[in-house]
Amino acid sequence: MTDPQPQPEPSVAEQRAALASTVDALHRKVDVPARAKAGARHELDRIRQQPRGAVAAELVSAFVVAYLAVRQRRRHSH
């Protein structure tokens, strides 16, 4: 049996592109505030499509705003 041919090394540009892609993916994964806001927006949109959704959406919006304000205040008090 013969050994398989070694794969050529990727170019520096290809390595940089792959690394940039990985860093971007990690950044999106650890950006919890952005993910939470996106999730809240998604839920609000879903609730607004329901007949009673407008009132519920306002309540959820108020809760999210209050939560973010409390969290921001706690962060600055330390």
In the structure, what pLDDT confidence band is assigned to residue 30 with cuts at 50, 70 and 90? confident
User: Degrees (nearest 5) of the Cα angle 40, 44, 49?
Assistant: 155
CB–CB of 40/60 below 8 Å? Answer: yes
**41 pLDDT exceeds 80?**
yes
Q: Using an 8 Å Cβ cutoff, are 53 and 47 in contact?
A: yes
Q: How far apart are CA 78 and CA 76, in angstroms?
A: 6
The pLDDT confidence band at residue 15, using thresholds 50, 70 and 90, is very high
Residue 59 has pLDDT above 70, yes or no: yes
Residue 21 has pLDDT above 80, yes or no: yes
> Per-residue pLDDT averaged across 13-38, rounded?
90
Q: What is the pTM of this model?
A: 0.39
